[in-house]
Amino acid sequence: MMAPNPFILAADNPQALLELLKEDPSLASGQDEHGYSLVHAAASYNHLDLLRALIRDYKVPVDIKDEDGDTALFVVETVQAAKVLVEEFGLDHTIRDTEGLTAREALVRDGEWPKVIEYLSNLPGEEPNGASTNGTAADSGLPPAPEGLNVTVGQIDEAEVGEQPDPEIRRRIEELAARPDFQTEEGQAALRELVREIVGGEGLAEERNVRARQD
């Protein structure tokens, strides 16, 4: 009988994976041929009990990286998972991948998970308005929450867990990043307005398109 694939279990059946780890703890620190780990999978699919067990009970390094230098923070889709990594286990959110991007910058580049971007943008050490080196959104980043806008992180409902990035928001981020005046007051004002819409929940899709992570 073929042994269960721990990476599939990490996505679809985290409780079964926890039982499997009790039988064979050595599986906890495993990585596939691309360096993708069970910590990456648990964080990405928002399986927080599994994520905590891997790091706390099985001592998998919270900053384990894949072949692109990405930590699990690069693949989170919810603020909940990001907070577990950063606030509970002390993952350095300023770690850069092989392209020189932080997790926040990579998410901005891809136009994904705006609430996670907002959370990361407000962490100490981030430079949301840093100068761009090649004109991409990833290098420029997002500004802090606009003045007068109160943002509460750490509270998430079930609907947010299933949230999918709105293609319209992604398109608008890409358009803003391509503007020649992106670093000017006018360009940053337009970006702040987009952040205001994102945080307010405008234009967010209601259903999630679950992305396959294993071939």
Q: What does the alpha-carbon distance between residue 108 and residue 99 come to, in Å, rounded to a whole number? A: 14
Q: pTM for this one?
A: 0.62
Secondary structure class of 31 (helix, strand, coil): strand
* Burial readout 175-196 (b: 16 or more C-beta within 10 A, e: otherwise): ebbeeeebeeeebbebbbebbe
User: How do residues 197-213 score in pLDDT, each as one tens digit?
Assistant: 776 654 444 433 434 44
Enclosing H/E stretch for 178 = helix 167-178
Task: Look up the CATH architecture of domain 1-98.
Answer: Alpha Horseshoe (1.25)
Q: What share of the chain is helix, strand, coil (3-state, %, to 5)?
A: 50, 0, 50
User: How do residues 145-175 score in pLDDT, each as one tens digit?
Assistant: 444 444 444 444 444 444 455 677 777 777 7
Q: What are phi and psi of 205, to 5 degrees?
A: -70, 155
Share of the chain above pLDDT 90, in %: 55
Q: Where are the domains of the chain?
A: 1-98, 101-205
Handedness of CA 86, 97, 151, 110 (dihedral sign): negative
Q: What is the pLDDT of residue 191?
A: 77
Q: How confident is the prediction along the chain (215 residues), in pLDDT tens digits per residue? A: 577 899 999 999 999 999 999 999 999 999 999 999 999 999 999 999 999 999 999 999 999 999 999 999 999 999 999 999 999 999 999 999 999 999 999 999 999 899 999 999 999 887 654 333 333 433 444 444 444 444 444 444 444 444 455 677 777 777 777 777 766 777 777 777 777 777 665 444 443 343 444 44
